[in-house]
Amino acid sequence: MTTNGRDPADCGGGGDEAGDNGAAAFEASLVADGATFDARDAALLRAVAAAGSVSGAAAELGRSRARALSRLETLEAAFGDLVQRRRGGADGGGSRLTADARALLARFDRLTAALSGTAGAAESVFEGRVADREGELAVVDADAGSVRALAVGDPEPAAGDPVQVSVGADAVTLHDPAETPPADATSARNRFTGVATAVERGDAVVRVDVDVGAGGPLRALVTVDSADRLGLAAGSDVVASFKATATRVTAVDAGGRRE
Kindly tell me which residue out of 18, 19, 87, 182 binds DNA, with binding defined by CB under 7 A: 87
Task: Pick the closer one to its own copies by CB: 49 or 59.
Answer: 49
The residues with which 132 forms a beta bridge, in sequence order, are 139
Task: For the CB of residue 90, give the shortest distance to its own copies in the complex, in Å.
Answer: 22
Binding of DNA at residue 79 (CB under 7 A)?
no
Task: For the CB of residue 63, give the shortest distance to its own copies in the complex, in Å.
Answer: 15
Between CA 123 and CA 168 the distance in angstroms is 4
Binding of DNA at residue 89 (CB under 7 A)?
yes
CB 210 within 8 A of CB 126: no
Between CA 201 and CA 72 the distance in angstroms is 46
CB 144 within 8 A of CB 126: yes
Scanning 65-73, 87-95, 191-199, 226-234 for contacts with its own copies by CB under 8 A, the matching segment is 226-234
Binding of DNA at residue 88 (CB under 7 A)?
yes
Between CA 12 and CA 215 the distance in angstroms is 18
Kindly tell me the burial class for residue 85, based on how many C-beta atoms sit within 10 Å of its own C-beta (0-12, 13-18, 19 or more): middle
Binding of DNA at residue 34 (CB under 7 A)?
no
Scanning 65-73, 83-91, 120-128, 209-217 for contacts with its own copies by CB under 8 A, the matching segment is 120-128
The single-letter DSSP state of residue 181 is: P
Task: For the CB of residue 59, give the shortest distance to DNA in the complex, in Å.
Answer: 8
Q: How far is CA 194 from CA 48, 142, 203, 242, in A?
A: 53, 15, 25, 14
Scanning 64-72, 77-85, 192-200, 210-218 for contacts with its own copies by CB under 8 A, the matching segment is 77-85
Of 35, 36, 18, which is closest to residue 27 (Cα–Cα)?
36
Instruction: Please choose which of its own copies, DNA, none residue 11 contacts, taking the beta carbon within 5 to 8 angstroms, the exact cut-off set by kind.
Output: none
Sign of the dihedral defined by the CA atoms of residues 26, 153, 258, 168, in that order: positive
Could you say which residues in the range 139-178 bind its own copies, by CB under 8 A?
148, 150, 152-153, 164, 166, 168-171, 173-176, 178
Binding of DNA at residue 91 (CB under 7 A)?
yes
Task: Pick the closer one to DNA by CB: 4 or 70.
Answer: 70
Task: Pick the closer one to DNA by CB: 90 or 178.
Answer: 90
Kindly tell me which residue out of 1, 50, 66, 113 binds DNA, with binding defined by CB under 7 A: 66
Sign of the dihedral defined by the CA atoms of residues 220, 223, 224, 225, in that order: negative
| Binding residues for DNA (CB under 7 A) | 40, 53-56, 62-71, 73, 85-95
